[in-house]
Amino acid sequence: MTGPINLVGRTSAEIAELIAPHGDRPFRGRQVARWLIERNAAQFAEMTDLPAALRDALAARFTIAEPQPVEVVPSSDGSRKYLLRLSDGATVECVAMREGAKATLCLSSQAGCAVGCTFCVTGALGAGRNLAAHEIVGQYRYLVRELENDVERVNVVFMGMGEPLLNTAELGRTLDVLFERVSPKRITVSTAGILPGISWLAGLDRRPKLAVSLNAPDQERRQTIMPIARRYPLADLMAALRAFPLERGRRITFEYVLIRDFNDDVGDAGAVARLIRGIPAKLNVIPLNEDREHFPTLRRPETEVVERFALALRDTGLTVTVRWSRGADVAAACGQLRGRGGPSIGVAQGVR
């Protein structure tokens, strides 16, 4: 038996088409779509410009189902981490980072991660499954509601749990929905360097911003901390990025997790600059967020080393930002999401 049809994760056109046969007027489908997409309605009872009888009839045939909150953990810096349960019992984490009237929502695309970067807790905990579009869009809808709809600007980053470009089918459906509310310029997809996924992204008519997790200036070191680099070598990745279509004013963001005595030398900064020379780019330097349980031997560089590395990059003409991560005290920072509740384990040093 099939249950009610979930309207979350569908575009306005799809919602209108589904509702049309059940409405008493041709425009009812468009009304429902506006309530869901523009007003973020959580139930049919909120749709007060629809007759009560129609609302009841729609509620019997359709559902507005989202991931359910299990735990909300506020950080001392104002960030909030949310543990959400999916319909099959799997759990994921997402993060809301607010700065005045602006907010950045960090969404997960998978329950777990198979890429296995050695400096990331999510990767250390192993693979899970791809999230469906309604589960990803549901995170966005829930977080926007949690922000009480009083933010003027929302940015979305796919930097939570999982590798987005290993889930392109559902990511594509998600982007179609989000683009109705959020400009592509305010959505960023971050990847460890999945070449088929980058090619897919390049072929979209409307593209979000692209961020690439680099983390080392050479193939040998990169593959030791990012096993996926053995399948998608650095040289091939850079060739794909040089060919990636960029709209006017767009740049590729390179993310570089700085690890003590591994990739933090001034000489490494020079090598990074040479590697990405000629690509419209900006570089985010992210001091490692330590975790004594999952990668006990990896340490964050001293502050002066971080600053010296960033300065060396800037001296080459690159646009560089040091991202002192937010949400670290509640394990909500870059590489710390676990997708499970309870006390955080390890030493949190600093969400990109």
Domains of the chain (ranges; CATH) run 5-63 (1.10.150.530), 68-330 (3.20.20.70)
pTM attached to this predicted model: 0.91
pLDDT of residue 77: 83
Reported confidence tier of residue 34, pLDDT bands at 50, 70, 90: very high
In whole angstroms, give the CA distance from residue 196 to residue 182. Answer: 25
Please state the length of the chain: 352
Told to judge if 334 belongs to the known catalytic residues of this protein, a careful annotator would answer yes
When mean pLDDT is compared across 136-140, 142-146, 199-203, the lowest value belongs to 142-146
CB 305 within 8 A of CB 294: no
Q: How high is the mean pLDDT of the chain?
A: 90
pLDDT of residue 290: 85
Told to judge if 170 belongs to the known catalytic residues of this protein, a careful annotator would answer no
| Helix, strand and coil percent figures for the chain, each rounded to 5 | 35, 20, 45
325: CB partners within 8 A, 6+ apart: 286, 287, 289, 333, 334, 350, 351, 352
In whole angstroms, give the CA distance from residue 23 to residue 50. Answer: 9
When mean pLDDT is compared across 2-16, 142-156, 270-284, the lowest value belongs to 142-156
Percent of the chain residues past pLDDT 90, beyond the cut: 79
Residue of 93, 135, 163, 170 marked catalytic: 93
What would the pLDDT profile of 254-296 be if each residue is shown by its tens digit?
999 999 999 999 999 999 999 999 999 999 999 998 888 888 8
Taking residue 280's Cβ as centre, other Cβ atoms within 10 Å add up to: 12
When mean pLDDT is compared across 131-135, 206-210, 291-295, 318-322, the lowest value belongs to 291-295
Residue of 113, 117, 120, 334 marked catalytic: 334
pLDDT of residue 340: 59
Q: How many DSSP H helices and E strands does the chain contain?
A: 12, 14
| Mean pLDDT, range 312-334, rounded to an integer | 75
